[in-house]
Amino acid sequence: MTFGKPPPRNPFDHLFSDQPGGGELFRLITALGQQQPPPPPPTYMDNELFRSLASMGQASAAAKALDVFGLTPLLEPYTPHSAKAVADGLGIADFISLSSINSAGALARLLEENYRSRRDWNDRFAHWQRPASVSEEGTIERAAANVRAALSASSWLVDQGLELCQQGSYFNNTNVRRDSDIDLRLVHPAVNVVFGPNVVPQYARGALGYAAGGRKFGDIFSDMRAHTSAALAKRFGAANIVPGSKAIKVRGITGSRAMVDVVPCVRLHIIDWVSDWSRYITTEGVAIIGNAGWIYNFPDLHHRNGKAKRQNTAHRFKRMVRIFKALRDDMEGRGIAGARVPSFLVECLVYAVEDGYFLHDEDLYGRVRRIALRMQARLAAPDAERTMLEISGVKHLFQPGQAWTFAQARNFMDAVVTHLGNA
């Protein structure tokens, strides 16, 4: 049994009815569609169209109507001037400048987004926080097993004593659904020893047993890459192998095999002297020779610290990482500027939020927004760029050579907070 009037057949019928604002919207859209260049002054849009949309309390439907009738491109000349009118009319205190939105279509979608209900957000977050599905895990594990078999068939790689290890978002259990790929590092037993500023190398070598000399690292990497590429091409076909500056990529097959990145590297030991303890300490990682020289990473420390963070946050840390990665993809798909940042950066930003922010007893929307606001505040701190670290706790998050900048991180978090609104 139903009560009241049946819903209109056209979802936009009510916009053109006798309801308050309906006829006015029709008049404005019709007038807008008949405009010839040059367009009217920006105040026309500020004072009439956007306020009419806002007064209806139906920004979502109005934005869709503009898209349906193909009129959103006509908003382009006005978007830099209308941010305040939209913010005032819709009551969105933290509305970002419309100049950061790539198109009028994105503006329409953003208007709709700001009217997404809290329940809608919670439903999305409940889905986004889940790890890869069983079928996705199958394609990933199948790809990893095939790569392992291919490399095991190379006598040179076996004789060198190389070790194949997992790393990246799948290994850390922070990958989002429909993101079926896996990162593997192929580690040569050679050690690149880096001495800290307070260490005398010859003393440290003698005390710790490091022998000088041996093969040049350039030669080791050249041989590793050649033999690895050959072994992978033999199993998967040369057309499916894509050598990069750091990784050798194996193309995936939808529904059968995930994409794989194989990263050749050597072991890394960073030696420091702790005068209070009168002893050397060694930080272990991996070293890669890229186009710009050495790159130092610490995947095992990253993995260990991520697991500890998960325990300290009642198993919420990794769920939040998946949500923020999916939120980034959602924003990028809607054309919101600032959304395109690497997954690794997203994970590090979530990690930088103190444990207590994950532990409040609230719904998912409240928790996501609380963490986003704290991320935004942390990035706004005067010393953030200089002091923030990667999850490993060893490497600075913002430094030359990274695949992102501090400005990109700030722009991303500002866009996230705006995208979430205050439902």
CA atoms within 13 A on the CB side of 416: 30
User: Residue range 324-338: average pLDDT?
Assistant: 91
Same domain for 316 and 391? yes
| DSSP SS3 for 163 | strand
Per-residue buried b or exposed e for 277-316, using 16+ beta carbons within 10 Å of the residue's own CB: eeebeebebbbbbeeeeebbbbbebbbebbeebbeebeeb
> Does 349 fall in a domain?
yes
Report yes or no on 182 lying in a domain: yes
Pair 181, 279 in one domain: yes
Instruction: Please give the distance of CA 58 from its chain centroid, rounded to a whole number.
Output: 31
Position 114 scores a pLDDT of: 53
pLDDT of 137 reads 85
Rounded mean pLDDT, 311-332: 96
The domain of 309 spans 305-420
Asked whether residue 400 is assigned to any structural domain, the reply reads yes
pTM as predicted = 0.73
Residue 314 in domain: yes
210 lies in a domain?
yes
Q: Does residue 325 carry a pLDDT above 60?
A: yes
The pLDDT of residue 86 is above 60: no
> What is the tally of structural domains in the chain?
3
Residue 363 tokens read as 């719904």
Percent of the chain with pLDDT over 70: 72
Q: Are residues 92 and 108 both part of a single domain?
A: yes
Q: Is residue 139 part of a domain?
A: yes
Average pLDDT in the chain: 80
Model confidence at 131: pLDDT above 60: yes
Q: Is residue 82 part of a domain?
A: yes
The Cα 249–Cα 291 span in angstroms is 16
Assess if residue 120 is contained within a domain: no
